[in-house]
Amino acid sequence: MKSQPALKLLLGTYIFVFLAYLFGPLIIMSITAFNSAEFPAVTPWECFSWRWFTEGKVTYDGQRLAGLLADTKLHDGILTSLRIALGVVVLSVPIGMAAAIVLTQVNSKIRTFFYSVAIMPVLFPGVVIGISTVVLWDRIASMTGGGAMADIGRNGVFLTILAQTCFISTYCFLIFVARLQRFDKTQEEAALDLGASQTQVFFKILMPYLMPAIASSAVIAFLYSFENYNTTVFSILSDQTLTTVIASKVRLGISPAISALALVIIAITLTAAISYEVLKRRAERRLAKIKQTQLHQAMPSDRLMKNQKTSFRLPKSMFLILLVCFGVVAGGNYLVSNNLYGQQCIVAADEAKKSNFADQLKLLQQNVETEATTTPQSGPATGSQGFNNIFGDPNLFKNFGGFDSDAKK
């Protein structure tokens, strides 16, 4: 592979295009969040503003587009989503853990069957899970005929928690299975031999060993639940979660407030990803250092001690950061020098639009008036003239063949 530079170049270009395809739309969407125009766009750039993050805007024709801070529906949706996600974590982590532990205890025949059943929910379409939960609980609610059971059976939050738990438990289950594969069973046996009860073994040996899996499955469950739409849209009934709020907003008409929301989510994701990566690298480096010192202690020879005082090197990521800084500065400079920032610009743009709108309205009214006055008299005349014009156009039948050739003869 190394001997083919052309292929390598091709591959490099391909990877670049691929990443551009992944990130391009997100970057453009993030930029539109700062455009004060009410349609999310980049090119007819109105003004730089934070309005979609704060109070939003009332357009010249009276339509109200709420920004993030002013959107109470969105806030309610986020709260409901959080409640559901917590419920799902509380249910699905213990379920996944129990299923994974039992999987290690049953014999191989039952194991295959059990495993197949346990992973089935992931292979079901999300909408099917949502629908089946709703129809079942509606039946239960109507059978009990009112009372507490009926309330529960028609409670969207409760149904959504159940429906999501159905398939999110599988993800948790898979995480626990992966962790348990590396578990050393002799630890359990040793504890039992030393007189621990089974319950003690579970809480003192197995649980601490599974702690990383518990943490990561809780995070995964939370994220899956929070961003689920396909199942939720059926099972939530009359309530609203974050995703259903977004979907209904998008269907009603797209507003830059959604771009702003997306940007907030992107920022949170990026921060989490970068800090995770940095922490991981730091831990790795520390581990390497410990190994190095151990080696040195075992064999105290200077040759093995790596030279600690390396010269100062600029990390590669520095270039990326510099590039981003440069982009931000250049963009900001452009905005300031063209007067595209601040309250003044926004007011001016709104005024322009309002007067434009008023002009159009006036023009429309004028048209109606002139039409009303002129059509009765000159109606037929203009009509015949129109016909004359159409047939009088010499180019009209040029490609048609018939008339033209006749005329030539």
Partner 1 sequence: MKNFFAKNGPIISTYFLIAIGFWIIFLIIIPQLYMLDLSFRPNLPPLLRGGEEDVYTLTHYKHFLFGSETSKDAYNYVDLKVFFTTLATAVVITVLSLCFCYPIAFYIAKIAEHKTARLLIVSLIVPFWINELLRAFALRILFAGEGVINNALINAGLMDNAINFIGQDVALFTGLTYAYLLLMMFPLYNSLESLDTNQLEAAKDLGSSTIRTHWRVVIPHAKAGIASGSTMVFMLTAGALATPVVLSSPNTFWFTQLIYQWFNMNDNWSRGAAYSVLLLLVSVIFVLLMMKLFRVKVGEIVK
Site for partner 1 in 276-305 (CB under 8 A): 277
Pick one of 166, 221, 257, 346: the residue that binds partner 1 (CB under 8 A).
166
Q: What count of other Cβ atoms lies within 10 Å of the Cβ of residue 376?
A: 9
Size of the site for partner 1 (CB under 8 A): 85
Q: Which residues between 12 and 41 bind partner 1 (CB under 8 A)?
A: 14-15, 18-19, 21-23, 25-26, 28-29, 32, 39-41
315 is a contact residue toward partner 1 (CB under 8 A): no
Least Å from the CB of residue 213 to partner 1:
15
Least Å from the CB of residue 377 to partner 1:
37
Kindly give, in sequence order, each residue whose CB lies less than 8 Å from that of residue 149, ignoring residues fewer than 6 positions away.
Answer: 140, 141
Residue placing its CB nearer to partner 1 in the complex, 79 or 98: 98
Residue placing its CB nearer to partner 1 in the complex, 281 or 362: 281
Q: Which residues between 260 and 279 bind partner 1 (CB under 8 A)?
A: 261-262, 265-266, 269-270, 273, 277
Residue placing its CB nearer to partner 1 in the complex, 26 or 79: 26
Q: Which residues between 101 and 140 bind partner 1 (CB under 8 A)?
A: 101-102, 105, 112, 115-129, 131-133, 135-136, 138-139
Question: Is 165:245 a contact under the CB 8 Å cutoff?
Answer: no
Kindly give, in sequence order, each residue whose CB lies less than 8 Å from that of residue 243, ignoring residues fewer than 6 positions away.
Answer: 77, 81, 227, 228, 229, 232, 233
Q: Which residues between 74 and 103 bind partner 1 (CB under 8 A)?
A: 94-95, 97-99, 101-102
Residue placing its CB nearer to partner 1 in the complex, 132 or 292: 132
334 is a contact residue toward partner 1 (CB under 8 A): no
7 is a contact residue toward partner 1 (CB under 8 A): yes
Least Å from the CB of residue 374 to partner 1:
32
Least Å from the CB of residue 386 to partner 1:
25
Least Å from the CB of residue 111 to partner 1:
10
Residue placing its CB nearer to partner 1 in the complex, 125 or 212: 125
Pick one of 36, 80, 160, 165: the residue that binds partner 1 (CB under 8 A).
165
Pick from 153, 201, 175: nearest CA to 89: 175
170 is a contact residue toward partner 1 (CB under 8 A): yes
Pick one of 5, 6, 44, 343: the residue that binds partner 1 (CB under 8 A).
44
Rounded to 5 degrees, φ, ψ at 239 are -75, 180
Least Å from the CB of residue 147 to partner 1:
16
Least Å from the CB of residue 371 to partner 1:
28
Least Å from the CB of residue 346 to partner 1:
20
**Pairwise CA distance, residues 378 & 388, whole Å:** 15
CA distances from 386 to 371, 372, 378, 392 (A): 16, 19, 12, 10
233 is a contact residue toward partner 1 (CB under 8 A): yes
Q: Which residues between 239 and 258 bind partner 1 (CB under 8 A)?
A: 243, 246-247, 250-251, 254, 258
Question: Is 98:118 a contact under the CB 8 Å cutoff?
Answer: no
**Pairwise CA distance, residues 212 & 179, whole Å:** 9
**Pairwise CA distance, residues 349 & 409, whole Å:** 63
Least Å from the CB of residue 15 to partner 1:
6
230 is a contact residue toward partner 1 (CB under 8 A): yes
Least Å from the CB of residue 4 to partner 1:
8
**Pairwise CA distance, residues 210 & 93, whole Å:** 11
Q: Which residues between 196 and 215 bind partner 1 (CB under 8 A)?
A: 197-199, 202
Least Å from the CB of residue 55 to partner 1:
21
Q: What count of other Cβ atoms lies within 10 Å of the Cβ of residue 124?
A: 14
Q: Which residues between 351 and 390 bind partner 1 (CB under 8 A)?
A: none
